[in-house]
Amino acid sequence: MLKTEELQINIGPQHPSTHGVFRMLVTVDGETIIDLVPVFGYLHRNHEQIAEQNTYLQNMPYTDRLDYFNSMANNHAYALAVEKLAGIEVPERAEYIRVLMVELTRILNHAGALGFLINDMGMWQTQLAFGMREREKILDLFESVAGARLMCNYFRFGGVVRDLPPDFIPRLKELITVMPAFVDELERLLRDNEILLQRSEGIGILPRELALAYSVTGPVLRGSGVPYDVRKAEPYSIYDRFDFDVPVGTVGDVYDRFLVRIEEMRQSKRILEQIIEQLPDAGGGHINPKARQNVRPPVGDAYARVESPKGELGFYLVSDGSTKPYRYKVRAPSFINLTPLGDMCRGYKVADVVVILGSIDIVMGEVDR
């Protein structure tokens, strides 16, 4: 009988499928994964330490650089933390605009993530092109209101930088009118695709109990059958005004995480339709109260969290009464969701590792900070 010998190999840190500068120390027996240790830190740039030297407002553009796919969601979480710490209220119209931007961000993220996942499987790049096409439409909307496409720096304490331009809502209506066709087409092309099923069904299973033990959140947790969403569990902003569902999987494999993200795009569209119907007219309070930007919160601490496209994103701030945070800490979903990677890969093949990692959907700017 042929006997193989265990071997340790490195995947990364420079590897096209690690989604950034990230190393996996893998122990293999032939092609089978015996153990996997994720190695972080190659992209560490002292985000939290720098934030403690800046004023509260100066930190807003730094949050863009965390999950740089989802700068609007990063802005939202940080703004909520500062507003909670300083006791700042947000006008209704600004609240609606904020949620609008974050739900567009969720669609943008999932469209790109699914395209990259299919690419990681070695399939055609058509789906990636489809995802990038929809992403560009949303980035056009972001550019029209924020002046930037990627690093938006759009939120402010007590509101947002500026109101929506006159043509924004008509363009948004046009976008969400054609969006169901994109989501349906994506699902129709992939749901029963033989290659996708072989590469995802029963691969990278994260059982419900293990997902809870590792404190993973977002589509990774919901793919394991846990219907946990911060927007429902602890509604923030105005999410309690919207009717939407929390999609979940049953097995916790790559296929379930794929299906959850497909359905989440549909739910974000439902929220956007409700926002358009409920959006208050301009004039119900200035959406950017400039007097509140140079904040000096009272001594104390605050934690605020949001359901970012990748999971629970939280900011913990401690104030000593000055214009700079005494302590600034980020609870990054990409980092937390990576921790069970070893358990998710053990027993599978080397070729499966890239697919399992892709199904988690990480950004290294958020992992290392």
pLDDT digits (tens, 9 = 90+) for 337-361: 988 988 888 888 888 888 888 888 8
Q: For residue 70, is pLDDT > 90?
A: no
Report the alpha-carbon distance of residue 39 to residue 342 in Å, rounded. Answer: 11
The pLDDT value given to residue 80: 93
- Dmax of the chain from CA atoms? 80
The pLDDT value given to residue 293: 67
The mean of the pLDDT values for the chain is 85
Structure tokens at 244: 């939407």
Give residue-wise pLDDT tens across range 31-60. 888 888 888 888 888 888 898 899 998 898
Determine the Cα angle at 248 with ends 130 and 227, to 5°: 130
Q: Which residue shows structure tokens 């122990």?
A: 27
Least confident of 53-67, 118-132, 180-194, 220-234: 118-132
The pLDDT value given to residue 287: 66
Q: Which residues contact 354 (CB under 8 A, 6 or more apart)?
A: 17, 120
Closest by Cα among 97, 102, 145 to 244: 102
Burial profile 286-314: b = 16 or more Cβ within 10 angstroms, e = fewer: bbbbeebeebebeeeebebbbbbbbbbbb
